[in-house]
Amino acid sequence: MAMYDLIIIGAGPAGITASVYAVRKRLNILVISPDIGGQAALGGDIENYTGYQFITGPELALKFEEHMRKFDIQLKDESVQDLKKTGEIIIVKTNKAEYQARTVIVASGKKTRELNVPGENEFKNRGLTYCATCDAPLFSGKDVAVIGGGNSGLDAAIQLERIAKKVYIINIAHELTGDEIMQETIKKDKNTIVYNESKVLAVLGEKMVNAIKISRQGKEEILPVEGIFVEIGLIPNIDFAGILEKNEFGEIKVNCYNETNIEAIFAAGDVTNVPEKQIIIAAGEGSKAALSAFRYLNQHRFS
């Protein structure tokens, strides 16, 4: 079995940046990820990534991928299932194989939080989706509901207001919590209706979604819609990382050097407890983690 200097789990902004830094340090590395771009690839319009006054999430993710591919970095399209350390060897088990490394960077990001209500599983990809960037064009001229009043929800609603006939924002809080500039855009659109203090009770339909049951300020009602976009936040992709210490939100604890509680295992990006989940922050944390792994390898002699 080959011994890698570094295995990077995840190919979002943090993982890709870590891979570029690591390969430039002449490390023998492997990147393992079932997708490329992470949550960045699912985003809408981006206006706050330095160097780009405007770029879409998929476009920025493609730029990241092009940069990584330039260095001919080995990438495995696999899902990590387990992570363990035996002596000075770290073993990464995937759905297809096992790999060994001297250091590991966990940059597996986050995944969409689900509603956990009746009808959700039944109507996934049958009118219910978790990605406005991917699926918004399918709902042209239709009434849709966006679940969530944070940045993700408002971003989805802004994308949909150009396409859908009417957009309902179902927000559990007393008021929207997304950025002010996004709220201003929402308020200007006459076809977007905000329901605060509201939550989803069930997803309804026959072959496809045709309505959503909600509790609005304590009163139940049926809202006819043909599309539902779930945007209620993210949870860390850490099912495989049982040996790593987490905080109360399930995020991997790291220090300023991106070190975890296990020596030689580092973590970076949205999967960690670093505050403010932003693309540019994840990329910066990825570079720090790669440099920390390089420093660790230089400080230790392996037989």
From the CB of residue 44, how many other CB atoms can be counted at a distance below 10 Å?
A: 18
Q: Report H helices in 151-234.
A: 151-161, 180-188
Q: Catalytic residue among 5, 135, 143, 155, which?
A: 135
187-196: long-range contacts, CB 8 A cutoff, minimum separation 24 = 189/161, 191/161, 191/164, 191/165, 191/166, 191/167, 192/157, 192/161, 192/166, 192/167, 192/168, 193/166, 193/167, 193/168, 193/169, 194/149, 194/168, 194/169, 195/168, 195/169, 195/170, 195/171, 196/149, 196/171
**Is 131 one of the catalytic residues?**
yes
From the CB of residue 162, how many other CB atoms can be counted at a distance below 10 Å?
A: 12
Q: Catalytic residue among 35, 131, 179, 189, which?
A: 131
Q: Catalytic residue among 45, 72, 77, 134, which?
A: 134
Report the distance separating Cα 33 and Cα 263, nearest Å.
Answer: 22
**Is 134 one of the catalytic residues?**
yes
Q: Which residues are catalytic?
A: 131, 134-135
